[in-house]
Structures are given as structure tokens and as C-alpha cells.
Chains A and B, each alone.
Chain A
Amino acid sequence: MTSTSTNLDYDETQAALFGMRQQDDRSKFLKALTGIKGFATGYPMGMVGAVVMLILVAMAVIPQLFTPLAVQKSSSIIGIHISDRFETPSWDFWFGTNALGRDMYGRLVYGARTAIMIGFGAVILAKLLSTVIGTVSAFFGGWVDNALQRVVEMVQAIPTLVFLILFVVMLEPRLPDIGPLSSDMLVILLVVAVHSGFVSSRTVRGVALSLREETYVEAAQALGASDSRIMLRHIVPNLIAYVIVSASLFVGAAVLLESSLSFLGYGVQPPAPSWGRELNEAREELARYPHLAFFPGLFIFATVWSFNMFGDALRDRLDPRLRGST
């Protein structure tokens, strides 16, 4: 199951990156297969990361797959089951149950959706924002650059967690629920995205500044191309490798920020399952039931680790020049 989805994922990345021409399906498939094989032998840890990552994404998309009802005695992960409170891990409850008798394994599996939604959502938004700010700032220079950079500096100067907490408290009650995202998830997503978008636009600006000096930009200008055309057709496409790599490295950080916020009580609100929140609740009965704290943290760790590993390998593979820049 995982190998087929790896093919697709890798293939798409390749296609997006190198603008692969349409080929017949067979050779495309073979090419993807050898690509994966090369990736796996060259970056074994990156491959492990990719597999763990795909399992987590699958968990977020179809959690039912991971919670077979025959094994799980309590299928319900919400609601109160007094007779099942504080079970230690057993065959019925793989990871035990919490103070309300909810099955921890089930809650953690469903928590993947929360984490992945916020993680991916925040990353996509953040990278869009940073690309726009970075490119505009670098291309126009002058007062536009100056004004944008002052704002970036302002955001940068406020410690990340303090910034996030203040904005979450300010915005949360004002936002609507959108689809699967409740207002509390939406606010984390937005705030993390905006913060990181501003902060990481700095490096995008740096890269864009050097691209602006390239001769092909000059050539386009000489041909009378408009500003927006130069930015969209000549600068942004050359930024994309950099942006994809930094995006894959940022998912882990976004998941970590979400769980920190939830842990402090400013994040995802109950009854939605969130790993950080489970950890916070585990504090109450920490001395007697340490397993309640162990498993949620393990999930957070595995998620962040796998995304970082994959991102690292992806960076080395796609752009060796960027090696080592976080």
C-alpha cells in the first residue's frame, strides 16, 4: 500500500520540479520506480522518514483503517466511559484509556488529522506568503522593500510563542468554522502561517535578489516584459526548488508549534483530539499513569522526526548547494 503511494508522491514532486514532459504511462512508472530506488539507496534515513510520513498522512485521511473495531473494545473516542477510566495498556486498549475512559490509541490516531491538517495548511499558506513577500520585496526594492522589511523585523523581534499566543487569544473568537477546521484550528493555522511567512520571506528575498541580477531577467526587461510577468515567469519558477525544500522542513516545526500551543491550552479545543492537548490532560494524573503522557509525545516526535528526515534528504537530492542551511 505504501509503495504505490510513494510512487505517486515522488512522481508528482519530480514533475512539479523539473517540468517533466508528458510520457506514456509505462515509462513514467518505470522512471518513478528507479527514482525511488535511487532515493532509497542514497538516503536510507530519508526513505524511512518518507514511509513514516506516508503512514501518518494515511492516518489523517482514513483513520478507520488504523482502528480495527474487532481489536478496539471501545470504538468511541469521544463520550465518557466511567467503567473504563485509566486502563493501563492492554489488548483491548493498546495505549490505555484516559480520565474519561476514552481510548488513547483511537484518540491519537484521530489526532493525526488535526496535526496534519494544521501542519500542511500552515506550511502551504506560509510558503505562499513568504514567496510573495520575498519576491515583491526583492524585485521592487526601494520604499516597498524598506516597508516590508521593517514589518518582517517587527514580527521577528517578538518571541515566536509569545506572538502566537497573543494572536490566538485575540483572533480565536472572531473566526468562523470552515469545513473540517473549527475556529480554534483555523486560528492556529493562520497565525503559524503568517508568522512563518513573514520570518522566512527574508531568505526568499535573499534568493530572489540574486535571481534579479541574472542575465535572463535583464533580457526579459529589455524585451519589454511587464513586472508581473518577470516575477511570475522568470523569478518565481527558479525559487520553487528552494521553497519546496524549506516547506518540507517546516511541516515538522508547524506540528511542533501546534502541539506546544495546545499543550499550553491555547490550541485545539476539546473535544477535537490533539496530541498536545492529550499531553496537557495527562499532567493531572502524571504520577500514577505515565503512559498517558508517553504515547501522545511519541506521536508528535515521530511526526516531526519523519518530516525533518524526509525534508533533509529531499534537500540534499534536489539542491546540494542548500545542504546544511537548516
Chain B
Amino acid sequence: MLGTTFLVFAMMRLMPGDFTDFLGGDFGALDAETKALIQAEFGLDQNWATQYIGWIGDLLRGDFGVSVYSGRPISGDLLQRLPITLELGIFAMAINLIIGIPIGIISAVRQFSWYDYTGRAGAIALLAVPNFWIALLAISLAGKYALWAVPSPTYPGLFEDPIANLKFMAFPALLTGAAGAGYQMRFGRTAMLEVMRQDYIRTAWSKGLQERAVILKHGLRNALIPIVTVIGLFLPALIGGTVVIETIYSIPGMGRYFIHALNGRDLFIVQALAVIFTMVVIVSNFLVDIAYSILNPRIRYS
């Protein structure tokens, strides 16, 4: 984790051009003296080690620094944006599981049937479709043929106007989630196939259990470990997906914040966001590990 913070920090300091190049705006570049003055204000004239240690210290105290443009503390902006991306991410994850797991199971249980072939072809298609393409097509078709209401250009708050909010988020979430559903289907299918060949499944069938019980209790329970693994693997991709989708749909979440800050070289924001994204991945991997030991008591971590 510390390694990652260092990597992110080094990348930001190695990035060519800093925000002082952009401050002059339309009036031309700032002269060197003013630049140095502004850099000193943000402590950028100190050597790297001092800067890095200072930054880590601030992070541990929960202080992410300020935006170099607005001067507002980043944590305030984050608190506004975090729930939005979280909402998108949770919906997307739910959609991913709702589409992926049942189709994967049906595909495995009815192997070599039409369900299976359609499901597998669908999964491969889902893996290949660029979600920003579908997003653009959906927007343009909605505009052209008025098939459904074009999402309002501004984001309605979840608590102010829940229905408008859900309408707004439905499609972005569907797209972000569907991207990973292909993997979920394929992994789910393989895992189920493996399990369904086991002896205990044959025992379950032969003692006359209902199909439902065999598949869900004996089959799925045992296939859950690879499925949980995929959830863990999907998260880094999910964060990337939200960056793209938030940009297209103008959702004021963390992804768009990241792109916006990066374009202005607003370095403290980029640093903070990269660390937060990474932390999300690390924490979720940890949760996946815990889930393993719950699902399979034989796994023990030393």
C-alpha cells in the first residue's frame, strides 16, 4: 500500500508541465517569478522526500490537501462525489451479478443446449462490446427516435428526487455492469460445470432430490469460490468503467473529477483519487479473502 502511494506520488512529480502552466489561461504564460511564488505556496519547491513524507502524514490524518485552483479542501469535494460513484458502482455490480450468475448457471446445467450456445455467444459479445460505443448509440437513438426520455443533463440528487435519480442512473449502471457480466457468465459456467461433474452431485440426484435443491444447494454453494474471485477481479475494471461512463453521461462522480483534475494538472486531487481508487481495490480484495474462508472453511490464512 505504501508502495502504491509512492508510485502515484512519483508519477505525479514526473508528469511534464504543472498547473502553473495553465494558470495564465488566455493571457499567455506566467513569468517564471510568479510561477515560483505559486509553487512555493503549495510547497512544491521543497525536495521530493519532504513533500512525500508531508503528504503521507496528511493522508494518515485524513487530510487530502486542497485543489490548486479553487483552494477548497479536496475532502469536501470528495464527500460530494463519493456517494454518486458509489451508487453507480453498487448498481453496476448488482447488474453484473444479476445478469452474469443465472445465465452462467443455466448455461452449465443445460450444457450444449440452445440456452448454453446463446448464453456463451452473448458472453463473448459482451466482452467485445466497447461500452462507450453502446452508451453513445443509446444517447443518439434516444434523441432521434424518442424511444425513451433522454436523461436530464444535470444529475438529480438521490435524496432530493429519487425517481429522477434512478431514471438517470439506470442506463449508465446497466452499461458499466454489463461490461463485466461476460466474464461472470464464463467463469460461473466453468465453475458450475466442474462442480456438476462431482460425485456428490450424482449422489444428490440419485437420492431423488429436486433439481432446484441439487443445483442451488449442492451445486452453486460449491461453485461460489471462483464466482467470488471474479467479483474481486472485476473491481479495478469497474472503477475504470465508471471513469468512462461518468465522462459520457456527465455524472459528477469521482471518475469525471479525476479526468478533469488530470487535464488541469491539479496534482493533489489526482494523487488523492489514485490513492482512494487503489484503497478500494485493496480493501475489496481483503473482503474477497474473508469471503473465501467463509465459503470454504478448509482455507485458513496464517
Complex Cα gap A208–B195 (Å): 26
A293 adjacent to B282 (CB under 8 Å): no
Stretch at the interface among A13-21, A136-144, A168-176: A168-176
Complex Cα gap A259–B12 (Å): 24
Stretch at the interface among A85-93, A178-186, A278-286: A278-286
B132 adjacent to A162 (CB under 8 Å): no
B14 at the interface (CB under 8 A from A): yes
Known: A160-B236, A165-B262, A308-B128. Is A170-B15 also a contact (CB below 8 A)? yes
Chain B residues within 8 Å of chain A by Cβ, number = 53
Shortest distance in angstroms between B266's beta carbon and chain A's nearest beta carbon?
13
Complex Cα gap A166–B240 (Å): 12
Interface pairs A-B: 8 shortest CB-CB:
A297-B133, A161-B240, A324-B190, A290-B140, A305-B128, A304-B128, A159-B239, A159-B236
Shortest distance in angstroms between B173's beta carbon and chain A's nearest beta carbon?
18
Q: Which residue of B lies closest to A174 (CB)?
A: B16
Taking A290-B137, A308-B128, A326-B187 as given, write out 12 further A-B residue pairs in contact, using a Cβ cutoff of 8 Å, ordered by the A residue number.
A156-B281, A158-B277, A159-B239, A159-B240, A159-B277, A166-B15, A170-B16, A252-B127, A260-B240, A283-B136, A294-B137, A304-B127
Complex Cα gap A252–B189 (Å): 21
B137 adjacent to A157 (CB under 8 Å): no
B187 adjacent to A309 (CB under 8 Å): no
A240 at the interface (CB under 8 A from B): no
Q: Which residue of B lies closest to A293 (CB)?
A: B136
A156 partner residues in chain B, CB cutoff 8 A: 236, 281
Complex Cα gap A91–B3 (Å): 57
Known: A160-B236, A161-B243, A162-B258. Is A260-B132 also a contact (CB below 8 A)? yes
B136 adjacent to A166 (CB under 8 Å): no
A233 at the interface (CB under 8 A from B): no
B274 adjacent to A166 (CB under 8 Å): yes
Complex Cα gap A261–B299 (Å): 39
B124 partner residues in chain A, CB cutoff 8 A: 305, 308-309, 312
Complex Cα gap A173–B14 (Å): 11
- Which B residues from 140 to 161 make CB contacts under 8 A with A? 140-141, 143-144
A170 adjacent to B240 (CB under 8 Å): no
Known: A154-B3, A300-B133, A323-B190. Is A161-B14 also a contact (CB below 8 A)? no
Interface string of B244-269 (1 = CB under 8 A from A): 10011000000000110010000000
A1 at the interface (CB under 8 A from B): no
A279 partner residues in chain B, CB cutoff 8 A: 130, 132-133, 136
Shortest distance in angstroms between A301's beta carbon and chain B's nearest beta carbon?
5
Q: 22 A-B residue contacts at CB 8 Å? A: A158-B4, A158-B7, A159-B277, A159-B278, A162-B239, A165-B262, A166-B12, A166-B262, A170-B11, A252-B127, A252-B128, A256-B130, A259-B130, A260-B240, A263-B130, A264-B259, A279-B130, A279-B136, A290-B136, A301-B129, A324-B186, A326-B187
Interface string of A285-314 (1 = CB under 8 A from B): 011001001101100110011001100100
Complex Cα gap A157–B125 (Å): 27
B98 at the interface (CB under 8 A from A): no
B236 partner residues in chain A, CB cutoff 8 A: 156-160
B8 partner residues in chain A, CB cutoff 8 A: 158, 166
Q: Which of B7, B239, B248, B277 contacts A154 (CB 8 A)?
A: B7
B183 at the interface (CB under 8 A from A): yes
B163 at the interface (CB under 8 A from A): no
Q: Which of A162, A174, A264 contacts B247 (CB 8 A)?
A: A264
